Structure 1
Amino acid sequence: MMVRSRFQGTILGKTYTFTAEESQDQMKAVLDLANQQLTAIKTGNPNLSNEEAAMLLAFNALSDQLKMQEARR
């Protein structure tokens, strides 16, 4: 049985508290990757709001997830 733990991190200047079964190191890696990708999205599209950039990041992440699932078949 995995233990859920809390993790605080900042994304685009706003602090969030996450609850997850993953390790703190895993959550930090995810947070760092999210910030890197959001920075790249906002650099390429400076007129996007933070919300729009986050939506594009989520869409890209889901697209990548589907590609990986299809590749496993």
Structure 2
Amino acid sequence: MSSQEIVSPFVTSSYSGGGSANECVEVARTADGGRAVRDSKNPEVVQFYTPSGWSVFLEGVKGGEFDN
């Protein structure tokens, strides 16, 4: 099992731009339980996150760590 093996379709975040903005973040699951993330305008560039890295990121989002 490769940590970079994508095992689900990419889905668009419900928080992505919308409308004519076309600012879409897409996320898919990887074989090790992590996530693959890409920009729908540049789908050939994919970032991979380990399960623990993704969990820490989500905790930060929920905790407001990235709010302006």
Q: Which protein has the larger Cα radius of gyration, Structure 1 or Structure 2?
A: 1
Higher helix share: 1
- What TM-score do you get using the length of structure 1 for normalisation? 0.32
- What TM-score do you get using the length of structure 2 for normalisation? 0.33
Structure with the larger RCO, 1 or 2 (CA within 8 Å, 6+ apart):
2
Higher strand share: 2
